[in-house]
Amino acid sequence: MTTKREHFGSRAAVIMAMAGSAIGLGNIWRFPYMVGEYGGAAFILVFILCSFVLSFPIFLSEAVIGRRTHANAIGAMNKLAPGSFWTSLGYLSVITPMVIVSYYSIVGGWSIEYFFKSFSLNFGEFRPTGWVPLLFNTIFLACSAGIVAFGVKDGIEKFNKISIPILFVLIVLIMLYSVNMPGAQKGIEYLVKPDFSKLTGRTFAFALGQSFYSMSLGMGIVITYSSYVHKDENLVASGVGTVLAALLFSVLAGFAIMPAVFSAGIAPSSGPGLVYQTLPHVFLGMGETSPLIATIVAALFFFSVVVAAMTSSISLIEVGVAYLVEEKNIKRGLACLLVFVVAWLLGLASVFSINVFGKVDAFSSNFLLTFGVLLVVLFVGWKMDKKEVREELTNGGTVNTKIFGAFFFLVRYVAPITVLTIFVTNLVL
Ligand code: PHE
């Protein structure tokens, strides 16, 4: 079909959109804890290594698929490998984000609720399931789908271009406050003290899994967003910008959260517990001496979480919307409504059972995502015409020609072996 496709307006817009997808709950509630528990500065080094040696080439592989075809994930695979097994990569890439957004938006909903609670500093007990979470989930999902309905340029690009800079300013402000709290030193040590004895094979697998999740790999997002990137844009440059932004945000979030947690004398935790149980205690503690400051910090913090989650959820929604618009000839507004309804219905299972919530999270982030990544690297490394891959990554031989060899080697050999190992480990463990 011949719909006119939109494009991101500039490199900055591409990076903001990609970084918006990358920066999210993963950076806020998993990364800081993992760093502390798995070797501090030593873990950060491993994480950076994983990000550049594996996640980055995988990111570029998806970018090649997306920009080469200028099509949604399913359309892209239909163009590159029509009628073959590889089209299943397209379908998987559309299904996975639907599953993820169904529970991701629930967390977005909790964050909206906690944002409002910040003003009274009355958080009460954490109730992750039930009618109230359903209400806030509905609000969060509707806002995200609403933004996507405005389109690639007027919706996604605009929202990310405003949100991402704000997010960085807020997290830096919160960090400055946090590292100056009494007793913050212990939290800083928790994050930086290198402990190389903690670096085992498992740690490595965790670091890599976290890096994939954080970079939003293996679920059609980079394929879809890259399909809106201009032909003459340098994919490597936008990729580096995205990796750096996501890494920086993770580290800033760590220094915003952990010093405050230690200052309050609380044991750090991971996952929902960190943000919705541990941190409210921190804010309550602060509120005993200075309620106004505690309210401001808490409100800014939960506002940041809402925004970070929303820039990610719109990327998840866009994958399905792009598919419906291009392959099924459905108007963008209606496509957003459809994705909203499906995600909302799928989410009902998680919003009423924290057990299901945990299972859906684990299944999609360990299994579906890793499988998606595996298919991507096998496809680009072994099946796609190498000349085409080179042409796309080097813009017809004008840029990045020197690094192409290294990129291709990583995608063809190193990535599949590593990802397969992790995939099997996840299955067995
Ligand atoms: N990258 C996001 C994060 O770190 C999560 C995410 C996963 C977003 C998958 C989109 C897709 O929170």
Say what the pLDDT of residue 2 is: 46
Reduced 3-state DSSP string for the chain: CCCCCCCCCCHHHHHHHHHHHHCCHHHHHHHHHHHHHCCCHHHHHHHHHHHHHHHHHHHHHHHHHHHHHCCCHHHHHHHHCCCCCCHHHHHHHHHHHHHHHHHHHHHHHHHHHHHHHHCCCCCCCCCCCCHHHHHHHHHHHHHHHHHHHCCHHHHHHHHHHHHHHHHHHHHHHHHHHHHCCCCHHHHHHHHHCCCHHHCCHHHHHHHHHHHHHHCCCCCCHHHHHHCCCCCCCCHHHHHHHHHHHHHHHHHHHHHHHHHHHHHCCCCCCCCHHHHHHHHHHHHHHHHHHCHHHHHHHHHHHHHHHHHHHHHHHHHHHHHHHHHHHHHCCCCHHHHHHHHHHHHHHHHHHHHCCHHHHHHHHHHHHHHHHHHHHHHHHHHHHHHCCHHHHHHHHCCCCCCCCCCHHHHHHHHHHHHHHHHHHHHHHHHHC
pLDDT category, 3, cuts 50, 70, 90?
A: low
d(CA 399, CA 394): 5
Ligand 1 centroid to residue 315 C-alpha, Å: 9
Place of tokens 């590159």: 80
| Two tokens, residue 394 | 């080097």
411 lines ligand 1 (CB under 6 A): no
| Two tokens, residue 270 | 């991971």
pLDDT in tens, 97-109: 999 999 999 999 9
Prediction pTM value: 0.95
Please report, as a single letter, which amino acid is at residue 384.
Answer: M
Half-sphere exposure of 329 (CA within 13 A, CB side): 2
Q: By C-alpha distance, which of 159, 22, 61 is closest to 412?
A: 61
26 lines ligand 1 (CB under 6 A): yes
d(CA 195, CA 221): 35
96 lines ligand 1 (CB under 6 A): no
Say what the pLDDT of residue 1 is: 44
Region 214-225 average pLDDT: 96
pLDDT category, 203, cuts 50, 70, 90?
A: confident
Higher pLDDT, 228 or 268: 228
Please report, as a single letter, which amino acid is at residue 251.
Answer: V
Confidence check: pLDDT of 411 > 90: yes
372 lines ligand 1 (CB under 6 A): no
pLDDT in tens, 56-79: 999 999 999 999 999 999 999 999
| Residue whose CA lies nearest to ligand 1 atom number 7 | 216
Ligand 1 centroid to residue 397 C-alpha, Å: 32
Ligand 1 centroid to residue 365 C-alpha, Å: 9
394 lines ligand 1 (CB under 6 A): no
Ligand 1 centroid to residue 108 C-alpha, Å: 12
Confidence check: pLDDT of 424 > 90: no
47 lines ligand 1 (CB under 6 A): no
Q: Which residues contact 210 (CB under 8 A, 6 or more apart)?
A: 26, 30, 31, 34, 47
Q: By C-alpha distance, which of 158, 152, 23, 102 is closest to 339?
A: 102
Say what the pLDDT of residue 423 is: 85
| Residue whose CA lies nearest to ligand 1 atom number 9 | 216
Region 239-259 average pLDDT: 95
| Residue whose CA lies nearest to ligand 1 atom number 8 | 312
310 lines ligand 1 (CB under 6 A): no
Place of tokens 């840029």: 399
8-17, 278-287, 359-368: which is most confident: 8-17
28 lines ligand 1 (CB under 6 A): no
61 lines ligand 1 (CB under 6 A): no
Say what the pLDDT of residue 84 is: 97
Region 389-405 average pLDDT: 96
Ligand 1 centroid to residue 249 C-alpha, Å: 13
Ligand 1 centroid to residue 95 C-alpha, Å: 15
Region 44-58 average pLDDT: 96
Return the C-alpha torsion angle 158, 160, 165, 166, nearest 10. Answer: 90
Number of Cβ within 10 Å of residue 405's Cβ equals 10
Confidence check: pLDDT of 128 > 50: yes
